[in-house]
Amino acid sequence: MAKGTGFGKTILIGDQFVLEEVPAIVSAISYETVATVERSTGEGWTLEDNRIEVPGYKEKKKDQQVHSIDRILEVMNIDVKKNPIKITFGGTLLAGSGVGASAASCVSLTRALNAEFKLGYSIEEVNRVAWQGEFPYHGIASGVDNTASTYGGLLLFQLKGGQQHFEKIQTPKPFEIVLANSGITANTALLDEITEKHKKDNLNLFTWRLKTITTQANDMKQAIEAGNLARVGMIMSENHKILTDMQFSHEKLDYLCMLALEKGAWGAKVTGGGRGGYMVALTPGEKLQDMVASAFAKEGYKIIRAVIGGS
C-alpha cells in the first residue's frame, strides 16, 4: 500500500486564458487530496472516493474521473489486469470547481502509483503524468493546476509557444486569503467554447482584453514582490470586472465578491475556470480574514481560509 498527496490551488489572475498564453499567478493552498493505492483481487481497478464535496460534484465528474484514471495508468504503463488495484481518495481539499480538485486527485494518484510500483519518477515526471490525467476534465489542459498541485508555493505560470514555463514568486511575507464556494459545479470543458465564441464575435475586443489581463498579471507580480497588497487587491477587482463582462462569472460569485468587499476585503474575484466554483478574496491579517470568512459562513457558504506567499 502506498499514499500520495496533491495540493489544492487558487489562481489570483489569468485563470481562463492560460491556453491563450496569458500569464497566470497561481498558488497552492495547504488543503490537499490524499490518494491510497493498494493491491487487490480480481481484475482492473476499483475506486472509493471519500473526498468531501460540493453536493453533486463527484457524480457530475464521474465519467471524466474514470477516463482520467485510465489515462494515468496508460501513461505510466501500469497493467491493472495483471496487477489489480484499489484506489481511495480522501484528504482535506473540498471536491468542487475552482480549487484544482481534479489536478490534486491526478497528482496524488500519480505519486501513490509511483510509490506502490516503485517507478522512481522525478517531480517533473509526476507533474507530466498528472497533466495527462487532467485532459479528460478540461478538454485541453494547460498544466497550470497540476503544476501548482505538484510543486506548491506561489508561481507565475505561462505557456510560450506551447511550452510550459513557471517561476516561484517571492513575497516579503505571507498573506491571508479567503475562498468561498458558490455551490455551482461548472463544466470546465465547456469554458473553452465560451472563449472561442468571444474570439469569433469580436476578435479585436477579445485581443484587447487579453492584452489588458497580461498587463494586469505582470503588474500584480511586481506588486506581490514589493508587498504592495493594496495594488494586488485593486487589480483583482479590476480583473473580476473583465471576467464578468465576458460571462465567466455567476450571479452568486458576483454577490460573494461584493459581500467580501463590503466586509473590508482588499480585492475579490472569481477564481478557476469560472461560471461556478469559487471566488477568492484578499484579506491581509487574521482579523480581516476572520471577518470576511465569518460573513460567508453565516450565509451557509463553504469556505477555505488560506495563507499564501512567503520566501
* Same domain membership, residue 62 and residue 94: yes
Residue 122: give the domain boundaries.
Answer: 2-168
Measured distance CA(169)–CA(150) in Å, rounded: 16
* Same domain membership, residue 285 and residue 262: yes
Measured distance CA(157)–CA(168) in Å, rounded: 9
* Same domain membership, residue 164 and residue 224: no
* Same domain membership, residue 140 and residue 108: yes
Backbone dihedral angles phi then psi of residue 121, each to the nearest 5 degrees: -65, 145
Give the pLDDT confidence of 7-33 residue by residue, as tens digits. 999 999 998 899 899 999 999 999 999
Of 257 and 97, the structure prediction assigns the larger pLDDT to 257
Residue 93 grid cell: 481539499
Residue 38: pLDDT above 70? yes
CATH number of 275's domain: 3.30.70.890
What's the rounded mean pLDDT across residues 282-295?
A: 98
* Same domain membership, residue 122 and residue 104: yes
CATH number of 120's domain: 3.30.230.10
Give the pLDDT confidence of 111-121 residue by residue, as tens digits. 999 999 999 99
| Domain end marker among 168, 197, 232 | 168
Residue 170 grid cell: 517571492
Residue 75 grid cell: 501513461
3-state helix, strand, coil in the chain (%, to 5): 45, 25, 30
Query: What's the whole-model pTM score?
Result: 0.91
* Same domain membership, residue 277 and residue 149: no
| Domain end marker among 127, 149, 168 | 168
* Same domain membership, residue 74 and residue 160: yes
Confidence of residue 311 (pLDDT cuts 50, 70, 90): low
Task: Determine the 3-state secondary structure of 153 from DSSP.
Answer: coil
Residue 138: pLDDT above 90? no
* Same domain membership, residue 54 and residue 74: yes
* Same domain membership, residue 191 and residue 139: no
Instruction: Give the total number of structural domains in the chain.
Output: 2
Of 100 and 139, the structure prediction assigns the larger pLDDT to 100
* Same domain membership, residue 232 and residue 124: no
Measured distance CA(128)–CA(131) in Å, rounded: 5
What's the rounded mean pLDDT across residues 277-292?
A: 96
What's the rounded mean pLDDT across residues 80-95?
A: 96
Strand 278-282 with 45-49, pairing:
unpaired
| Domain end marker among 139, 168, 197 | 168
* Same domain membership, residue 84 and residue 187: no
Encode burial over 18-27: b for 16+ CB neighbours within 10 A, e otherwise: bbbebbbbbb
Of 191 and 49, the structure prediction assigns the larger pLDDT to 49
* Same domain membership, residue 182 and residue 49: no
